[in-house]
Amino acid sequence: MPYHKNKQQAYQAAEQSVSEIQNTINELVLDGASYGSQLAHLKNEVNEAYQQIENALEVASETQRAQLQQFKSDLSSIVSEVNGQS
Protein backbone atom coordinates (compact mmCIF):
# COMPACT_ATOMS: atom_id res chain seq x y z
CA MET A 1 0.00 0.00 0.00
CA PRO A 2 2.75 2.57 0.68
CA TYR A 3 3.99 1.98 -2.89
CA HIS A 4 0.55 2.84 -4.28
CA LYS A 5 0.37 5.93 -2.10
CA ASN A 6 3.77 7.07 -3.39
CA LYS A 7 2.59 6.58 -6.98
CA GLN A 8 -0.48 8.67 -6.29
CA GLN A 9 1.47 11.39 -4.47
CA ALA A 10 4.05 11.58 -7.25
CA TYR A 11 1.33 11.84 -9.87
CA GLN A 12 -0.55 14.51 -7.94
CA ALA A 13 2.62 16.57 -7.48
CA ALA A 14 3.25 16.49 -11.23
CA GLU A 15 -0.37 17.33 -11.98
CA GLN A 16 -0.28 20.25 -9.55
CA SER A 17 2.95 21.60 -11.08
CA VAL A 18 1.42 21.62 -14.56
CA SER A 19 -1.73 23.29 -13.23
CA GLU A 20 0.35 26.01 -11.54
CA ILE A 21 2.17 26.68 -14.80
CA GLN A 22 -1.13 27.04 -16.65
CA ASN A 23 -2.27 29.54 -14.01
CA THR A 24 1.00 31.46 -14.31
CA ILE A 25 0.60 31.60 -18.11
CA ASN A 26 -2.91 32.99 -17.70
CA GLU A 27 -1.58 35.72 -15.39
CA LEU A 28 1.42 36.63 -17.54
CA VAL A 29 1.34 40.31 -18.51
CA LEU A 30 3.12 40.56 -21.84
CA ASP A 31 3.70 44.29 -21.81
CA GLY A 32 4.09 44.79 -18.06
CA ALA A 33 7.22 46.06 -16.39
CA SER A 34 7.57 42.78 -14.50
CA TYR A 35 7.41 40.58 -17.61
CA GLY A 36 11.07 39.57 -17.31
CA SER A 37 10.73 38.45 -13.71
CA GLN A 38 7.45 36.69 -14.51
CA LEU A 39 9.21 34.86 -17.33
CA ALA A 40 12.07 33.82 -15.04
CA HIS A 41 9.55 32.55 -12.48
CA LEU A 42 7.73 30.62 -15.21
CA LYS A 43 11.01 29.04 -16.36
CA ASN A 44 11.68 27.83 -12.81
CA GLU A 45 8.15 26.42 -12.55
CA VAL A 46 8.54 24.58 -15.86
CA ASN A 47 11.85 23.06 -14.75
CA GLU A 48 10.26 21.93 -11.47
CA ALA A 49 7.28 20.48 -13.33
CA TYR A 50 9.53 18.50 -15.66
CA GLN A 51 11.34 17.10 -12.61
CA GLN A 52 8.04 16.23 -10.90
CA ILE A 53 6.88 14.47 -14.05
CA GLU A 54 10.11 12.48 -14.35
CA ASN A 55 9.87 11.47 -10.68
CA ALA A 56 6.26 10.39 -11.15
CA LEU A 57 7.09 8.40 -14.30
CA GLU A 58 9.46 6.23 -12.25
CA VAL A 59 6.57 4.80 -10.24
CA ALA A 60 3.52 5.51 -12.43
CA SER A 61 0.82 3.06 -13.39
CA GLU A 62 0.11 2.67 -17.11
CA THR A 63 -2.87 5.05 -16.88
CA GLN A 64 -0.82 7.63 -15.01
CA ARG A 65 2.08 7.18 -17.43
CA ALA A 66 -0.12 8.16 -20.39
CA GLN A 67 -1.33 11.29 -18.60
CA LEU A 68 2.19 12.21 -17.46
CA GLN A 69 3.39 11.95 -21.06
CA GLN A 70 0.54 14.30 -22.02
CA PHE A 71 1.71 16.72 -19.30
CA LYS A 72 5.20 16.67 -20.84
CA SER A 73 3.71 17.38 -24.24
CA ASP A 74 1.64 20.24 -22.81
CA LEU A 75 4.74 21.72 -21.18
CA SER A 76 6.65 21.51 -24.46
CA SER A 77 3.83 23.40 -26.17
CA ILE A 78 3.85 26.04 -23.45
CA VAL A 79 7.61 26.49 -23.72
CA SER A 80 7.37 26.81 -27.51
CA GLU A 81 4.56 29.34 -27.23
CA VAL A 82 6.37 31.46 -24.65
CA ASN A 83 9.64 31.33 -26.62
CA GLY A 84 7.76 32.56 -29.65
CA GLN A 85 6.46 35.59 -27.74
CA SER A 86 9.75 36.71 -26.26
**Structural domains of the chain, count:** 1
Question: Is 45's pLDDT higher than 90?
Answer: yes
Domain containing 81 equals 2-85
Model confidence band, residue 84 (pLDDT cutoffs 50, 70, 90): confident
**pTM for this prediction:** 0.83
Q: Quick one: average pLDDT of 47-70? A: 95
Question: So what's the pLDDT on residue 1?
Answer: 38
Contact 73, 30 (CB under 8 A): no
